[in-house]
């Protein structure tokens, strides 16, 4: 099964996780880039990114360097802004001809709660088979990201092989797979 990691990153946290996943899985990677970049610092960063996420704005993306339609499985990575996926990720999902192939999601957030983001993605793509909620590198809880990302990668590896993703541990809120 041919897989593609698609991600958007503003601070580099999501990029690092995406690159690690793509390398471990041996699959291609695609960075989403808005035509008009989102400010990277200060008040404008929070204002523009938060506003876009809150109001469901979908910025125009630069031309994609590959065709997501030529992949069997799409692994999506996004920061969580105002409880939602980053706006460039929505642009991708809405313009993607094969959103049903998005079966794995990893998120990065300051607080770790990605439940609203996950529900929104599943509403547009169908049920996710693997997921991981990672913490922003500035959060002390980010020390567990490596283990969570490794479990996520193993779940995705099983999907690529055509197997069911490993079952989560009972009552494990840090599971790499939704219940």
Tens digits of pLDDT across the chain (179 residues): 899 999 999 888 999 999 999 999 999 999 999 998 775 666 666 655 565 666 677 778 899 989 999 999 999 999 997 788 888 998 999 888 899 999 999 999 887 678 889 998 999 899 999 999 999 888 888 888 999 999 999 999 999 998 877 655 443 444 444 33
Burial 3-33 (b: 16+ CB within 10 A, else e): bbbbbbbbeebbbbbbbbbbeebebbbbbbe
- Residue 19: enclosing H or E segment and its boundaries? helix 13-25
DSSP 28: E
Query: pTM of the entire structure?
Result: 0.85
Q: How far is CA 105 from CA 22, 28, 47, 80, in A?
A: 13, 16, 25, 12
Q: Are 20 and 9 in contact (CB under 8 A)?
A: no
* Domains defined for the chain, CATH in brackets: 3-160 (3.40.50.360)
């Amino acid at each position: 099964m041919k897989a593609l990691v698609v991600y958007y990153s503003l601070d580099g946290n999501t990029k690092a996780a995406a690159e690690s996943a793509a390398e471990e899985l041996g699959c291609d990677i695609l960075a989403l880039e808005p035509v008009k970049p989102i400010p990277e610092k200060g008040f404008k960063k929070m204002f523009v990114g938060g506003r876009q996420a809150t109001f469901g704005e979908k910025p125009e993306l630069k031309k994609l360097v590959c065709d997501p339609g030529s992949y069997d499985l799409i692994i999506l990575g996004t920061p969580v802004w105002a409880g939602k996926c980053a706006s460039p990720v929505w642009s991708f999902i809405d313009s993607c001809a094969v959103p049903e192939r998005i079966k794995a999601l990893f998120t990065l957030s300051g607080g770790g709660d990605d439940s609203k983001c996950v529900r929104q993605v599943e509403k547009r793509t169908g049920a996710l088979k693997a997921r991981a909620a990672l913490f922003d590198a500035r959060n002390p809880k980010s020390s567990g990201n490596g283990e969570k990302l490794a479990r996520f990668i193993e779940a995705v590896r099983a999907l690529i092989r055509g197997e069911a993703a490993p079952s989560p541990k009972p009552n494990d809120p840090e599971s790499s797979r939704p219940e």
